[in-house]
Amino acid sequence: MLGQLRDIVAEVNNLLQKVNSYEDKITGTVDNYIDKIRSYIDKINSKGVALINSLNSRFQPFMVVSTPKGLKRLSGSKNYPTVLSGDIYLHPVSQTMELFVPFARKHVAVTNVFKGEASAQGGDSDCKAKLQAVNEKGNFNKVLDGTVRQVRMSGLEKGYVYEVAYSALDFEGKMATRKYYITIAQ
């Protein structure tokens, strides 16, 4: 009888070893699938978060200029201003052309003029005169209705860098401003 019990215990132990080996195989396979699913979810999540985070920038003020070749993005760097010639038509909009989020009010003005190290904000009278000359013409330095999509800029002279600030006010009272730099071709 003791021999039969030993045989039964041995048989149960064999069965348990087989079950454990199958469990290891199943657990490993399930873990691999779970890891793959997690990596796909992480990829989808990172793409979704990047898209949502980039949406805000698409609704911010954005200004381009009309050129004979089409629209041109304006430079945001004083050291590398956008070089233009002829009549200048600025388009104060958003990157979505205000299709999704229109602005209530807009303001476009020259806020500084540079010539070498001299600037209007630094007290240079020549640069200050150039700043005032541009701001006194057309729709510059005036609060504009949100439907205005084009502003003519005139009175710019060669050898100066003009800092143009574009501010937009949305219908909730939030305001954002971007600065751009323009110079006239020599």
Give the pLDDT confidence score for residue 26 in this predicted structure: 62
- DSSP code of residue 80: S
pLDDT in tens, 38-61: 888 888 888 888 888 888 888 889
More confident of the two residues 107 and 88: 107
Whether the Cβ atoms of residue 126 and residue 157 lie closer than 8 Å to each other: no
Please give the model's pTM, rounded to 2 decimal places: 0.74
- pLDDT for 2 beyond 80: no
Q: Domain limits of the chain?
A: 1-58, 59-184
- pLDDT for 166 beyond 90: yes
- pLDDT for 91 beyond 70: yes
Residue 27 tokens, joined: 């657990």
Residue 143 tokens, joined: 């609060």
CATH of domain 59-184: 2.60.40.10
Q: Rounded mean pLDDT of 85-110?
A: 90
Give the pLDDT confidence score for residue 182 in this predicted structure: 96
- pLDDT for 119 beyond 90: yes
HSE-CB of 131 using CA atoms within 13 angstroms: 22
Give the pLDDT confidence score for residue 22 in this predicted structure: 65
75 residue type, one letter:
S
Region of 136 please: left (phi>0), alpha (psi -120 to 50) or beta: alpha
> How much of the chain, in percent, has pLDDT values that exceed 70?
89
